[in-house]
Structure 1
Amino acid sequence: MHRLEAIRSEFQNLLLNRPDQPSSSPNTTSTTPSPTPSQESANRSSILELESVAQLIDKFRNDWHDIHERNHANFSKFEVADRLLIVLLERCQQHANVCKRMDDIPNDLSTIQSELHSLTDIAGELKSKLATLEDRIEEATAEHTRGEFEAWKRQEQVRVKEELAEKSTSKARSRAQRSI
């Protein structure tokens, strides 16, 4: 940018300080001959060329400013796109993890299925053992009940024998008393 300004200044200086132009000082009289028509047309064409160059420089400067502003806008857009890309990559990674887990599901299901079969077998064995234990408990309870009944029966028999013996003794006493 500064370089373009420097070039423009140089061209303006060339236009103002041309040796064939008369001096504009008020105290000096013009001793230089007036320019010929061919020199005038040459000067005019060089002035037109310099003005064209100045316009071109202005156009370049304006274009440079546009490019610079677009660069800033594009950089801002880049930052937004970069953040969105990071979010997109994170989501892609999450999707990849989900897909990997889904791929592992058949293996996990077969493991779970075999473990369920093992648990079913263990539950069947446990049920069988519990049924056997229940039968043994019922037998033990029946034997205990029989044993208690037999003990009660013996006690009752002893009590009945004792009562009978007592009644027999009391009858014998009563007979003995009546016979007296």
Structure 2
Amino acid sequence: METAAAATSYPVARDAPPRPAPQTAQLGQGPARPGWGHWAILALAFLLLSGSFAWGVYQSRHRPRNLAFVVVTYYLIALLYCCLAKLDLLRRDDPAPAAAAERWRVRMAVWCVSVALANTVAARVADAMPSAGFKIAVWVFTTVCIAVGFYFFFVRAAAARRTQTDGRDLREVSPEQRV
């Protein structure tokens, strides 16, 4: 006869399911091409940005400072898009040192362009503020946003690279900790 304690089953810690293999292209084929929806969204974004630029140029055609702001902002947004597209094209799993150096250069370019864009917009917004307190608040907020961006773009990414190079995920729980 079985005892009541033996009949009760206790949950047993099990290993986590294996991670799925990354989706890669078949040998001899390039990366998968995006569908028409991707290109439609890009075209719509480009038309919206260009329309806003044209309207901004028209509105500020008699004020050189406003015109310079519109032109510089449009140029920085277009440059940021190009840098992000280049970063997206670079393969993350390419172990060649030259590829890692190229990714680092493109990441630095993205960082520099985004900081320039943030400072351009912050300078314009701070000029429109009525008091010195609001101007300081705009610059403090911009500095905090840039610092958070730096953390996620460089510090956290470096920690993720170290985790990948160790060959193990630091978030995994050891069998001793599961008990």
Normalising by the residue count of structure 1, what TM-score does the alignment of the two structures yield? 0.26
Bigger fraction of residues in helix:
1
Larger Rg: 1
